[in-house]
């Protein structure tokens, strides 16, 4: 069974992605910083799919944390980046997207984990 890292895996898009991956025979590994999600979603996922998938609380903009994740998962996996980022500006959103994407590609490619990366991240501008 192929492992697939789902970033934002406890959010709306990510949690639904996890369910569909399990239904298709894949083994999801969830990474989420919980900024726009709730850890209770893991319990709901477990009821739907029958088990709790591996979960890492991590902001992928954290370079050291991303490196440590890559080291913990030496067999690697394909990566699906989902997420919902609330920001006051598109500039802040783009900077976070670029930083997280850079860290993921740097460390997972560095450890010879060359797999497909799909980005499906959305942004809204939060009004003051």
pLDDT in tens, 95-119: 776 777 777 776 666 666 555 455 5
pTM, two decimals, is 0.76
pLDDT of residue 36: 81
Secondary structure class of 86 (helix, strand, coil): strand
Taking a C-beta distance cutoff of 8 angstroms, is the pair 74, 109 a contact? no
- The residue among 32, 33, 31, 25 whose CA lies nearest residue 3 is 25
pLDDT class for 11, splitting at 50, 70, 90?
confident
pLDDT of residue 127: 47
pLDDT of residue 72: 83
What is the per-residue pLDDT across 34-78, written as a single tens digit (0 to 9) for each? 888 899 999 999 999 999 999 999 988 888 998 888 888 766 667
- Region class of 81: left (phi > 0), else alpha (psi between -120 and 50), else beta: beta
Taking a C-beta distance cutoff of 8 angstroms, is the pair 14, 7 a contact? yes
**Distance (Å, rounded) from C-alpha 18 to C-alpha 125?**
26
């Amino acid at each position: 069974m192929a492992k697939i890292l789902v970033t934002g895996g406890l959010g709306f898009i990510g949690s639904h992605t996890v369910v569909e991956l399990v239904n298709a025979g894949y083994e999801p590994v969830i990474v989420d910083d919980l900024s726009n999600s709730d850890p209770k979603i893991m319990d709901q996922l477990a009821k739907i799919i029958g088990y709790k998938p591996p979960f890492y609380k991590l902001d992928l903009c954290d370079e050291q944390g991303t490196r440590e994740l890559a080291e913990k998962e030496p067999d690697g996996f394909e990566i699906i980046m989902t997420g919902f980022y609330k920001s006051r500006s598109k500039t802040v959103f783009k900077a976070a997207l670029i930083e997280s994407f850079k860290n993921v590609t740097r460390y997972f490619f560095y450890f010879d984990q060359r797999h497909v990366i799909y980005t499906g991240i959305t942004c809204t501008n939060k009004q003051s």
